[in-house]
Amino acid sequence: MRRFGRQCRGMSKVFVTLVRQTERQLLEMGHQVLPLAWAAQACLHGAPQLPADQRVRLNIQLTAALEAHDRIETQSRRLTQGKALAHYKIVNAYDPTIAPICKGKSNCPAQFGRKPGIIAEPAAGFIFAFHLPIGNPSDASYVEPLVDKVEQAITRVRTRSTLAIHSLAGDLALNDATLREALHERGILTVGIPKTVDPLPPSPTPEDVLRSLDEADLHHIRTPSQVHLAYACGYSRPVVESIIASLLCHGVGHLTYKGHRGAIVQTGMAVMAHNAATLVRIHEYRLSKRARTFRRRLRLRCRKANHCNASIN
């Protein structure tokens, strides 16, 4: 969580207190009303004098009210960590599709919003897919939908049949045993996902390579050179921050389109615009030294052939 860290301290504390006090009052009031709603529903079941259609209608209304209370109560409890919003901004804090973004921050009030996930290639920064779930689920839950979307895109390519995902890198939030197993079953190396806070080595020893292949049980699919590249990807994972910075410049940091569908449309358009800019950079060969090395080792095409030394050795 990189954007709403420390800038929301200071004067915001005043508003946080106000939000907390208001929400506590609402929660207390709701706590008293809730048993009354349950009692009313129980009375409704034991009231044969009412016509059946009226009973059904009242029952539906009461059930809806109870469900709404449950949803609002959850959001209210989260709101006690709320942050002062910009003066002219309108946010529906009870929208069930948005959630407080408070994970991974220490001593900072939460910001309401969404948490898009991206899957990108680390060399040039091309984004293959994005995922925008409802609420604020764990980062590990993003991986499989993203991998599915990339595989769907791969199936659209008819000219090159050898395309496949070899490895996946991520931060410590993706360190989940179930996820690792699922990725290994798909033939994807997970050496780029760290297990501890220690940084990954830029190049592994031969023992590390063998151990990685043993752990994943992918001897028959993946080669040692692919493991080397997977380690390099994991080592240079922080370059994803520059991809995210580019997306934020394309307006993804502030979603103005309405609702969850609007957020998906805005994010999708920004990702496509970013991808086009990335392809221009690739065409022009305006890439970092690290990106050029990656592309050489992946044997990817580059327009300016005189700048590109395609030999690995």
Partner 1 sequence: MQLLRYLQHWLTGRGPCLQVANFVPETHPLRQWADTFPWAALVAALDRSFARRFPRPSTRGRPPVSTRVLLALELLKHELACSDEQICSRLRTDLAVMYACGIQEVQVDGSQEHFVLPEVLAQFRSRLDAPLMEELLAIQAATAMADGLVSPAHLVVDTFPSEQGSQRVNDAATLYKAQKKSSRSSRP
Looking at residues 100 to 159 of the shown chain, list those that interact with partner 1 (rule: CB under 8 A): 101, 111-124, 126-130, 139, 142-143, 146, 149-150, 152-154, 156-159
Residue choice 37, 58, 65, 248 for contact with partner 1 (CB under 8 A): 248
Q: Is 213 in the site for partner 1 (CB under 8 A)?
A: no
Q: Which residue has the tokens 């984004």?
A: 127
CB of 271 to partner 1, least distance (A): 6
Q: Is 307 in the site for partner 1 (CB under 8 A)?
A: no
Parallel, antiparallel or unpaired: strands 127-131 and 99-101: unpaired
Question: Within 13 Å, how many C-alpha atoms sit on residue 284's CB side?
Answer: 9
Q: Is 224 in the site for partner 1 (CB under 8 A)?
A: no
Residue choice 36, 52, 86, 197 for contact with partner 1 (CB under 8 A): 86
Question: Are the C-beta atoms of residues 132 and 261 closer than 8 Å to each other?
Answer: no
Pick out residues in 149-208 that bind partner 1 (CB under 8 A): 149-150, 152-154, 156-160, 163-171, 173-174, 192
User: Closest CB to partner 1 among 32 and 178?
Assistant: 178
Polymer length of the chain: 313
169 vs 191: CA distance, rounded Å:
7
Pick out residues in 263-292 that bind partner 1 (CB under 8 A): 263-273, 275-277, 279-280, 282-284
Neighbours of 4 (CB within 10 A): 17
Q: Please give the structure tokens belonging to residue 302.
A: 């580059």
Question: Within 13 Å, how many C-alpha atoms sit on residue 136's CB side?
Answer: 16
Q: Please give the structure tokens belonging to residue 271.
A: 């990702």
Residue choice 90, 196, 197, 198 for contact with partner 1 (CB under 8 A): 90
Q: Please give the structure tokens belonging to residue 45.
A: 């079941």
Q: Is 15 in the site for partner 1 (CB under 8 A)?
A: no
User: Closest CB to partner 1 among 184 and 250?
Assistant: 250
